[in-house]
Amino acid sequence: DTEVTQTPKHLVMGMTNKKSLKCEQHMGHRAMYWYKQKAKKPPELMFVYSYEKLSINESVPSRFSPECPNSSLLNLHLHALQPEDSALYLCASSPGTAEREGYNEQFFGPGTRLTVL
């Protein structure tokens, strides 16, 4: 299995809803990432998990809450989002960490298209 999967593909939610995005990989990768991508822009890094521990949080608002239950799974819990949070949310994984491997080749999932009403 050489892919990163994400569910759901599309999500529409109200500002008072609570929802979760899921990401899974079975490549034995030890680092996983959440990105947010607005239209016609590059991905913006949100969170990095290395060996199931949160290693980077790019000052993301607390209405986004990541969780890494195990080395294959990464969730992003959403609560009280704003319309400006509407975007494509991408998950990625990499074999290891740059500190150990020297480089950081990331494999991306297809994304979840989120619309906040």
Partner 1 sequence: AQSVTQLDSQVPVFEEAPVELRCNYSSSVSVYLFWYVQYPNQGLQLLLKYLSGSTLVESINGFEAEFNKSQTSFHLRKPSVHISDTAEYFCAVSGAGFQKLVFGTGTRLLVSP
Residue 43: how many other CB atoms lie within 10 Å: 19
Taking the complex as a whole, how short is the minimal distance between the CB of residue 55 and partner 1, in angstroms?
Answer: 7
Q: Contact 66/49 with Cβ under 8 angstroms? A: yes
User: What whole-number distance in Å separates Cα of residue 66 and Cα of residue 79?
Assistant: 11
Residue 16 CB, nearest distance to partner 1 (Å)?
A: 28
64 vs 93, beta carbon nearer partner 1: 93
Contact 15, 82 (CB under 8 A): yes
Sort 22 into a burial class: Cβ within 10 Å, 0-12 / 13-18 / 19+.
middle
In the bound complex, what is the minimum distance in angstroms from residue 35's beta carbon to partner 1?
A: 9
Q: Is the CB of 84 or the CB of 103 nearer to partner 1?
A: 103
Task: Give the residue with the Cβ less far from partner 1, 42 or 83.
Answer: 42
Instruction: Find the shortest distance in angstroms from Cβ 81 to partner 1.
Output: 21
| Residue ranges that bind partner 1, judged by CB under 8 A | 4, 6, 31, 40-43, 45, 48, 50, 55-56, 90, 92, 97-99, 102-111, 113
Task: Specify the residue, 16 or 53, whose C-beta has the smaller distance to partner 1.
Answer: 53
Q: State the Cα–Cα distance between residues 13 and 6, nearest whole angstrom.
A: 17
